Amino acid sequence: MDAKLRQVVEALCREGQVEWTTEKPAPGVEPGVRELFLSVGARGEALPAHPRMLSWKLPQWVRRSAHSTTGVVLQAEAELEALAQELRRPESEGGLGPLLLRVHEPTLDVIAAALLVMYRTLHGHFPPGAEAVSEYVGEWEQGHTERAGEYERALGTVFYAGLRLWPSSLLGRPSREVLELMACVLDTVRTSEELRALPETLIPLQISRRLKADALLYKAELSRAQRVQLDIPLSEAKEAGMRRVDALFLSSFQDVTVLKLLARTDSEHTHYGQGFDFMAVHVPEAEKTYVRHTLSLAPERAGTLADLAGWLDTLEGERLPDGSARARGTRRFEHQPNDYSDPWYSDGYTSARRRSTLVAPPYSGTRLTRRELWEALWSRFNVGRHVHVLRAHTVYARPFLWKGKAPHEVLLARGFHRRSLSDQAVSFHPAVADSFLGDSPAADVAHYEQPADGRTVHVSVYPNRLVVIWIEQPRMAEISMYELAQEQARLAEGRALWELAPLRDMSPELEPLGPERWLVYGAYRISRGRSSMLDDSRSMQGLFHALASGTAPTLERLPSKAAAESRRVLKDAAGETEHWLTSTGGARLELLIEAEEGAPLRCDQDFLLFLLTTGQRYSAFEISRRMAEVEQRYRTSRWQSLRPARSVRSDVMLFTNSLWHSRVGEDPDFNARYLAWHSLHGLQETVGAMKDQASELDQYKRDQFDRMVGLLVFVFLPVSLACGFFSGAQFQDLSPSVGIPGTTTGWFVFLGYTAAFTVLVFGTVALARLLSWRRR
């Protein structure tokens, strides 16, 4: 290392000569006589430049096109000459005190600037490598990580790896090893290309090993990250266009800058193969009063995060993390959107040009947790905010067991009237229509309806005490898909639908069955021409899933890989209609190129198919439960097997034309959706299990019956034989006219006993089996 650079390193490390502090000055505070601000401080545009406030984010230096504090130092030779003279003042004139460096953090930019400042004040000129370092640090500070160079040899990654190995002191003084590393770079490197791939002799072995392990650490961090897509506005205009980007929400103890460098070039784990343009990184630091958050957008790509920091500041509320009231006062920056004394920081505050690609941690702490912050970003930039739903028709359904009097009388008394759905029966087989659509008095299912507050409340009464309440809700006004999914989730999971007049006092007659939420099915007409890109990205697929399942479109509820594989997505031949089927609901998405009206959306065959399979699902569950109760009675009561079965066997045959058959119509697409519902609800397995359960129950009853007959034979046959034998022996010498009056001898008495026993036992068996079969 050059002797002059060695002198600079010793000066920066010597406590009596240079002091370091990371305590941030209040807005408007200026440096003291022997104090220098590096990358900190705020100053109004109307005020003259202060010679000892060196930060590229100050308006005075922004106007001079400075891109880093290191670049500011190179432009501030006159100011540094005045500082050098101040430091050389004799003790009699108040000199010889230590130089106080007030810095934001010991970053690459701050350390490089401090070295150049000390070199200039000690030796009257800058070192030969200053221009190259300034150019490289400027690109790094502006976020142009694509120009950073080779990961394992670039100056930026080498520096931050060293900073992690040899951390700075609590007061902000960097370690000697870090300063010597930067001094060696200044002494050796002369071009920015050399800084993108440092000579191997300059990189300590400890740093080299750490950089090789960082790629593996990054992949490990991805396992607990959220990888989604966001729509970033291209400008601050209200109707500005959007750009879809891959976003990474990451919680990590690694260095934020290193993560950005790895993520921005990560095409393997991104949907669009261009790296993560948007990043939200959360780095917990126990020794600080706040938790570091860095939100950034790749500056080389189109898009803006204008006013994002101000919006996050409003989410903080009126309280600090410790519960005290937030203070208001002088703004730190000229373009700050509020007057909180400690706002979230955005680089858009520092310039009238409003460059807004970075949001940094708040100065005095945040009340927002990592999850809350991620949800807020997901909501603000959600891809569904720019997908326009022109029309919607939604059905909310819930199954119940009826506990009260006959449903027909109760429903008619409450203002419901009988409804036939046969006008929608064109796609169903006649047998299914007769069974389900309620067109005839002998139908398996009866439907009732009553209008209420722009909705229609329906009650479908099934055999086996099952009722399904379903509510139609049409929507004619246009709405975004994100807002519609939120609205559906609130209705499906809340109690707003129970406040409708027809349902308000019906709770005593209903016993909950199945999920304690509404199942959702809807038809949605979406304009492709007025919507952002409808692709197969995780965010868009998750939004479709939320719409189909009736769940809230939150980051936490994005479907897992298993949930995505379990749903069914069917498309028509033209690809303009998609059917999404999930365990809690479904959606028919009509994707239109033009925003045309088309046929009105109403409760049609797809809705009826959803209601049919819902009734089948819970009918099967209830039948299986009742069969289990019957089996339990048979196994606990010895004489129960002699009694004929109840109506369980007839209940199993409910929906003979659909539950046991694989088709409900002749249309292949319609039938495919029916099979998809069956597969999704596991009805084939349920029916198979019910058959096995019925067969097992029949076999058990048969065995019990045979054992009971064997017991009868074992008890009564010896008695009958003994009675017959002794009767025959007693009367064997008498003539037929003397024994039993007018007929027999003693052995005829024996045969009579045997015949009576046969008729009694086997006649009882035959009659019981006949009655049991007829009941089934």
670-704: per-residue pLDDT in tens? 889 988 998 888 877 777 777 777 777 677 767 76
pLDDT band at 749 (very low <50, low <70, confident <90, very high): low
Q: How far is CA 148 from the centre of its chain?
A: 34
> Which residues face 248 on adjacent strands?
227, 279
> Does residue 709 surpass a pLDDT of 50?
yes
**Using 50, 70 and 90 to split pLDDT, how confident is the model at 406?**
confident
Evaluate if residue 220 carries a pLDDT over 70: yes
Using an 8 Å Cβ cutoff, are 336 and 381 in contact?
no
* Average pLDDT of the segment spanning 303-314: 86
Task: Reduce the DSSP state of residue 70 to 3 states and report it.
Answer: helix
Least confident of 367-376, 425-434, 520-529, 742-751: 742-751
The residues that bridge with 457 in the sheet, in sequence order, are 450, 471
Contacts with 133 (C-beta within 8 Å, 6 or more apart), sequence order: 70, 112, 116, 155, 185, 186, 189, 195
Query: Is residue 651's pLDDT more than 50?
Result: no
Q: Is the pLDDT score of 660 beyond 60?
A: no
* Neighbour-count burial for 89-99, b at 16+ CB within 10 Å, e otherwise: eeeeeeeebeb
pLDDT, position 293: 85
Residue 610 pLDDT more than 90?
yes
Lowest mean pLDDT across 47-61, 84-98, 491-505, 558-572: 84-98
Helices (H), 572-667: 605-636, 648-652
Q: Taking CA 34 as the corner, what is the angle to CA 347 and CA 51, rounded to the nearest 5 degrees?
A: 50
How far is the C-alpha of 658 from the C-alpha of 677, rounded, in Å?
A: 12
Q: What average pLDDT does the chain have?
A: 82
Q: For the chain, what percent of residues have pLDDT higher than 70?
A: 84
pLDDT at 431 over 60: yes
| Banded model confidence at residue 248, pLDDT cuts 50, 70, 90 | very high
551 neighbors 585 (Cβ within 8 angstroms): no
Where does the pLDDT of residue 360 fall: very low under 50, low under 70, confident under 90, or very high at 90 and above?
Answer: confident
Helix, strand, coil % in the chain, rounded to nearest 5: 45, 15, 40
The Cα 35–Cα 20 span in angstroms is 10
Residue 659 has a CB neighbour count (10 Å cut-off) of 23
Is the pLDDT assigned to residue 383 strictly greater than 60? yes
Q: Name which residue leads in pLDDT, 596 or 31.
A: 31
For residues 271 and 229, the answer to whether their CB atoms sit within 8 Å is: yes
Q: How far apart are CA 262 and CA 265, in angstroms?
A: 6
Instruction: Provide the 8-state DSSP code for 363.
Output: S
| Alpha carbon distance 308, 300 (integer Å) | 19
Burial class (CB in 10 A: 0-12, 13-18, 19+), 658: buried
Of 22-36, 424-438, 448-462, 651-665, give the lowest mean pLDDT range.
651-665
Q: What is the mean pLDDT of residues 458-464?
A: 87
Class of residue 636 by CB neighbours under 10 A (exposed 0-12, middle 13-18, buried 19+): exposed
pLDDT band at 276 (very low <50, low <70, confident <90, very high): very high
What pLDDT is stored for residue 284 in this prediction?
72
Query: If you search the block for the tokens 């990043």, which residue do you land on?
Result: 279
Give the DSSP letter string of 295-310.
Answer: EEE-TTSS---TTHHH
pLDDT at 585: 92
pLDDT of residue 729: 56
Q: Residue 658: pLDDT band by 50, 70, 90 thresholds?
A: very low
Reduce the DSSP state of residue 67 to 3 states and report it.
coil
Q: Rounded to the nearest 10 degrees, how much is the dihedral formed by the CA atoms of 609, 615, 616, 617?
A: 110
Higher pLDDT, 369 or 183: 183
pLDDT at 458: 94
Can you tell me whether residue 710 is helix, strand or coil?
Answer: helix
pLDDT at 544: 94
Residues of the chain with pLDDT > 90: what percent?
22
Buried b / exposed e along 394-415 (16+ C-beta atoms within 10 A): bbbbbbbebeeeebeebbeebe
| pLDDT on residue 246 | 94
CA gap 425, 609 in Å, rounded:
11
Q: Tell me what pLDDT residue 44 has.
A: 77
Which of 262, 264, 316, 318 minimizes the C-alpha distance to 291? 316
Predicted local confidence at residue 750, as pLDDT: 66
Listed in sequence order, the DSSP H helices in 418-537 are: 430-436, 481-493
Tokens of 73: 């130092």
What is the rounded average pLDDT of the residues 291-316? Answer: 85
Calculate the alpha carbon distances from 691 to 415, 484, 648, 678 in Å. Answer: 40, 42, 12, 16
Per-residue pLDDT at 656: 41
Mean pLDDT of 149-171: 87
For residue 350, is pLDDT > 80? no
| Range of weakest confidence among 261-265, 304-308, 635-639 | 635-639
Q: Is 690 helix (H, G, I), strand (E, B) or coil?
A: helix
Q: Is the pLDDT of residue 218 over 90?
A: no
- pLDDT(721) > 70: no
Written as six digits, the tokens of 597 are: 């009206």
Q: How far apart are CA 441 and CA 507, in angstroms?
A: 27
Spell out the residues 6+ positions from residue 199 whose beta carbon is closer than 8 angstroms to its own. Answer: 188, 189
Using pLDDT thresholds of 50, 70 and 90, give the confidence band for residue 551.
Answer: very high
Which pLDDT score is estimated for 653? Answer: 46
What is the phi-psi region of residue 366: left when phi exceeds 0, alpha when psi lies from -120 to 50, beta otherwise? beta
Category of 275 on φ-ψ map: left (φ > 0), alpha (ψ -120 to 50) or beta: left
Sort residue 503 into left (φ over 0), alpha (ψ -120 to 50) or beta. alpha
364, pLDDT greater than 90: no
Question: For residue 525, what pLDDT is reported?
Answer: 92
Count the Cβ atoms, other than its own, within 10 Å of residue 482.
20
Do the Cβ atoms of 254 and 261 come closer than 8 Å? no
CA 390 to chain centre: 25
Q: Which of 758, 774, 769 is nearest to 650 (CA)?
A: 774
Q: How confident is the model at residue 87 (pLDDT cuts 50, 70, 90)?
A: confident
- Answer for the pair 343, 320: CB distance below 8 angstroms, yes or no: no
Question: What is residue 319's DSSP assignment?
Answer: B
What order of strands is seen across the sheet that includes strand 18-21? Answer: 18-21, 99-103, 35-38, 53-54
What value does the mean pLDDT take over residues 146-150? 82
Evaluate whether 627 touches 697 at the Cβ level (below 8 Å).
yes
Give the model's pLDDT for residue 513: 84
551: nearest Cα among 491, 489, 481: 489
Would you say 379 and 299 are in contact if contact means Cβ atoms under 8 Å apart?
no
26, 56, 89, 355 from 343: Cα distances, Å: 12, 19, 39, 18
